[in-house]
Amino acid sequence: MAKQIIKMDLNRVEGDLEIKLEVDDHTVTDAWCVGTMYRGFEQILVGRAPTDALVITPRICGICSTSQLYAATSALEVAFQTPLAPNATRIRNLCLMAEAVMSDARHTFLMFAPDFCNPAYRGQPLYGEALELFEPPFKGRVARETVYHSKQILGIVIAFGGQWPHATYMMPGGVTCPLTEESLAACLAAIDDYTQWYEQTVLGCRCERWLGLNTMADFFAWLDETEAHRHSAVGVFARFGRALGLHQTGQGTPHLLSTGCYYDPENWQPPFTARQCLQPAGFYDGETDRIESFDQRQVAEHVRYSWYADYGGGRHPWEGETQPDYQPDGDRYTYAKAPRYQDQVVQLGPLSDLVIAGDRLLTSFFQAEGANTWLRQFTRFHRPVSLLQQMRRTVIELQQHFDEPTFIKSALGAEGEGCGLINASRGSLGHWVKIKDGRIANYQVITPTSWNGSPRDSANRRGHWEESFIGLEIKDLDNPIELCHVVRSHDACLVCTVHFVKGGRKRTFLV
């Protein structure tokens, strides 16, 4: 069979994305991730007042706007060395966790799991059960319930931010909303209601039982323990996904990165020299099998294969440039940049965050099978369990510190540079800002998809997604569902839909 170039469009991944694959006898031999839309947020911010970033950057994404706001606010606090009210950090963490819990459910049950209902899988023993739970659009029982429950958990963000998405209730020094007994009671009720649904429908057991699983062997023993476990949403996913061999696809780069998350309320204060996080940061070196400390100064972005003015090699975001230079006839192929850490291609996401944080169950799977399509998605079943418990503890802490302020007013300076780093739902998110004469002189944002979906860098090394497609077998080139699983396991965009252009309209053949 002759080599083919297949082009696949994703209609929204931090903008629009197209994936080009070189396929030889149904096996992917090369790949290119093409970001086809330029938005210009970084240029829009230059010359504006620093606090304008708090209104503009949450509009980068309509599904993780809390994450963008948190990162932007933190960047300004570091730049201006702003004292921070501990209660504000608790509220920010609580809202960020609520957004992660919401997005894990929506991505898993509305974006990833419906692919189990693809007609290609009609012969699979679990196909009927997958239809019952996940059939699109919103026909599956779990899919329908997800719409309701994921909306309810966002009530926590609304209690403090007034709306979701695009709330702007965080400011340098704290949050603009006072604590009320009613809002905290509503938060506890939302957490308890969501936990009850998650236990009954998603897990088939109590959260405490799930958190007792520490190894692969523990999980598979749990899976066979009761019918409730086997036929829960995670039970069906686990059995169906492994029957399809998803634990053997989509490995990509062996290196993991997490910038850490959920600042320590009492200790995250100026001079902000050591990042005090409840979820630690780190870099997992896949060659040495060691976790190293994270240093944001080791981040650099390359544009050798991007449609931007070339500056040679990689640049730290504080020195970064975003000057579009569209050259369709050359070897550049995307509007995405190529971030690297210590000059390495890395992968980001919940799996990276929790493995680096020392989660025992995920680490057991990771050590045995590496990062893969199945494990990335399994992580999104696992993460909400601990987050829900941490959310409840955070509300109780707020009740205990009820009389303390949520905002400390400070004068903002005219000069400074700062970086705000948090873990969004899809992985680590960073905002870097330089301020001169009271105006933004430079602003650079690196999203999780920027890392995972990056193009080749100055050394011609593929990005993580590009590498994760290599060797993938696609049985039916008109229905490349195997590729869809790999893409979706990275949560390319929580509200995007993947569609394949068929009928030869976007397929070309190499002679």
Q: How confident is the model at residue 307 (pLDDT cuts 50, 70, 90)?
A: very high
Task: State mean pLDDT over 197-215.
Answer: 99
Question: What CA–CA distances, in Å, run from 290 to 47, 286, 388, 433?
Answer: 42, 7, 29, 31
Task: State mean pLDDT over 123-132.
Answer: 98
Contact (CB, 8 A) for 206 and 182: no
In this structure, how many other beta carbons lie within 10 angstroms of the beta carbon of residue 427? Answer: 26
State the pLDDT at residue 507.
41
pLDDT (tens digit, 9 = 90+) per residue, 136-161? 999 999 999 999 999 999 999 999 99
Residue 340 tokens, joined: 């690297």
Contact (CB, 8 A) for 169 and 175: yes
State the pLDDT at residue 493.
54
Question: What CA–CA distances, in Å, run from 4 to 29, 326, 500, 511?
Answer: 10, 26, 15, 9
Residue 193 tokens, joined: 């209601």
Q: Which residues of 372-398 are buried (b: 16+ CB within 10 A; e: fewer)?
A: bbbbbbbbbbbbbbbbbeebbebbebb
- DSSP conformational letter for 6: E
Q: Is the pLDDT of residue 474 over 90?
A: yes
Torsion of CA 463, 466, 472, 474, to 10 degrees: 170
State the pLDDT at residue 510.
26
State the pLDDT at residue 332.
96
Q: How confident is the model at residue 14 (pLDDT cuts 50, 70, 90)?
A: very low
Task: State mean pLDDT over 257-276.
Answer: 94
Q: How confident is the model at residue 1 (pLDDT cuts 50, 70, 90)?
A: low
Which residues neighbour 95 within 8 Å (Cβ) at sequence distance 6 or greater?
66, 156, 157, 160, 161
Lowest mean pLDDT among 278-282, 488-492, 500-504: 500-504
> Which alpha helices (DSSP H) does 126-180 contain, by range?
127-134, 141-153, 155-161
Q: Is the pLDDT of residue 175 over 80?
A: yes
State the pLDDT at residue 509.
26
Separation of alpha carbons 497 and 488, rounded Å:
9
- DSSP conformational letter for 21: E
Q: How confident is the model at residue 63 (pLDDT cuts 50, 70, 90)?
A: confident
* Host H or E run for residue 422: strand 416-424
Contact (CB, 8 A) for 411 and 76: no
Question: What CA–CA distances, in Å, run from 256 to 32, 75, 147, 344, 486?
Answer: 21, 23, 31, 10, 17
Which residues neighbour 404 within 8 Å (Cβ) at sequence distance 6 or greater?
85, 86, 87
Class of domain 4-509: mainly alpha
pTM of the model: 0.94
pLDDT (tens digit, 9 = 90+) per residue, 74-111? 999 999 999 999 999 999 999 999 999 999 999 999 99
Which residues neighbour 375 within 8 Å (Cβ) at sequence distance 6 or greater?
247, 351, 362, 365, 366, 369
Separation of alpha carbons 381 and 203, rounded Å:
8
pLDDT (tens digit, 9 = 90+) per residue, 406-459? 999 999 999 999 999 999 999 999 999 999 999 999 999 999 999 999 999 999
pLDDT (tens digit, 9 = 90+) per residue, 329-377? 999 999 999 999 999 999 999 999 999 999 999 999 999 999 999 999 9
Higher pLDDT, 498 or 477: 477
Q: Rounded to the nearest 5°, which phi and psi values hold at 358? A: 90, 20
Please state, rounded to an integer, the average pLDDT across all residues of the chain.
93
